[in-house]
Structure formats: structure tokens, C-alpha cells
Amino acid sequence: MKAPQADLREPTPAPERRVPARPVLKREVPSREEIEALEAFPGIHPSRILVAATERDVAAAHAALSAQSHVGFDTESKPTFIRGEASEGPHVVQFATLERAYIFQLHVPQARAAVSQLLGAPSLTKIGFGLDGDMTQIRSQLGIEPQAVLDLDTVFRDLGYRKSVGLKVAVALVFKRRFAKSKRIGTSNWSHRSLTDSQLLYAANDAYAAMRVYAAIARFPLAPAG
């Protein structure tokens, strides 16, 4: 009696099931009037802001920030008012954790060196909004290529928001709060050796609020549109 031969024919593949693509729904941002009606975002307390003005302060700030994996980030520059005038900024670079904000004025040589190291560190993700202009100025003035920079505007675009989502809109979306930004302070002279308390708070909150937004959406991600 012959032993049965194995069936070496390839099995007929099952018909492929095609899942119809889900349509991507477009999200809308709140209007200016809707944002203005919200309660104010509390921001960081002035006592939690460190101005790295001395060699010791710069070293302390650099050590604290280097120990982080993600920080909020932004820059400030003296505005230009004449057509064709090139900006000499950034004059101020600010970083923030969820607990503190750190202000570096780039006329301080030690601060300039520390900022260059932090921006060039691939292990430290720098988080902010609308950073293209900041990156251009940093390349020009510091001569470095910033590493590990995350512009949250692109994150919100990936989530389906059609319009650009800046910091003010993001705070409204995530926290249902109004982020106050003074145009007068934003266009003040950031090249001054001694910044005002209002300037320090303005700069610190730009970085701090960005970090808060990132922490919130990283912990409780907004559902993708669709």
C-alpha cells in the first residue's frame, strides 16, 4: 500500500478585505471673540523665572535644562521698523519646564554659549509655536543648526486643523483659557541690558505655555480628526 502523498499545492489565498478610507474631517479654531470671552490663562508666577545674567546663574540654568527631555522654547528680538532693515536678533532666548522658566540674554557671553549647546542638543526636544523665523535668526546669529525642535503648529495640522494654530489658539483649545499677549511688550526693545518685569513675564510665559500645551496633549492626546 502506497503512503499518501502530501498536497504541495499552494493554498488559495483568502480574498483581500479592503477597508474604506475614513474621510478626514477638518477642525475649526475658535474665533477671536470666543477666545476673548474665556477666563485668563494663569501663566507662570514671577518667582519661578530665573534670569541667567551671571556665570553662576547660567551654569545653574544650563544644568537644570540639560536634565530635561522636553522644554518649552521661544525667542525675542528687538523689532525693526525700517523697510529693508535686518534684525539683529534674537536678543533673548527662553526655555521653560512645567515648574520654571529660564531667560537667557545673548549679550552675556556665557549665556550665548549655553544657549548654543542647548539648541544643538539632540536629546533635548525644544517645543514652541511658529518657530521658522526663530530658527532662521538662530542660524544667522549663532551659526548653529538647532536640533530636536518641535513646532506644535504642525502637530495641530496633523490633527486636522485647517488654519494655523498659534499659542493663543492652542491655549484656548486645550485649556479653554485666554492667553494674553501684549503687542506693546512684544514689540518693545529686547536688546536692553536690563529687561523690565513685564518683558520677563511675557518671554517666560511664551515658553511656559507651550510646554503646558505639549504636556497636556501628550498626556491626553486630542483625537485625530475623522
**15 part of a folded domain:** no
**Contacting residues for 58 by C-beta, under 8 A, at least 6 apart:** 52, 104, 108, 110, 111, 114
* Per-residue model confidence as pLDDT tens digits over 120-178: 999 999 999 999 999 999 999 999 999 999 999 999 998 888 888 999 999 999 999 99
Strand pairing of 101-105 and 92-96? antiparallel
Residue 16: DSSP 8-state: P
* Per-residue model confidence as pLDDT tens digits over 67-117: 999 999 999 998 876 676 667 889 999 999 999 999 999 999 999 999 999
pLDDT band at residue 24 under the 50/70/90 scheme: very low
Q: In this model, does residue 185 exceed pLDDT 70?
A: yes
**52 part of a folded domain:** yes
**19 part of a folded domain:** no
Q: Which of 197, 201, 172, 199 is nearest to 185 (CA)?
A: 199
**10 part of a folded domain:** no
Q: Give residue 72's pLDDT.
A: 98
Domain count, the chain: 1
**17 part of a folded domain:** no
Q: In this model, does residue 221 exceed pLDDT 90?
A: no
Rounded-to-integer distance, Cα 51 and Cα 195, Å: 10
Mean pLDDT for the stretch of residues 38-61 = 96
Q: What is the reported pTM?
A: 0.84
Rounded-to-integer distance, Cα 152 and Cα 169, Å: 11
**96 part of a folded domain:** yes
Mean pLDDT for the stretch of residues 198-209 = 98
Q: Give residue 27's pLDDT.
A: 80
Order of all β-strands in the sheet with 101-105? 49-51, 101-105, 92-96, 70-76, 125-128, 149-151
What is the extent of the structural domain holding 131?
32-79+88-219
**166 part of a folded domain:** yes
CATH number of the domain to which 137 belongs? 3.30.420.10
**206 part of a folded domain:** yes
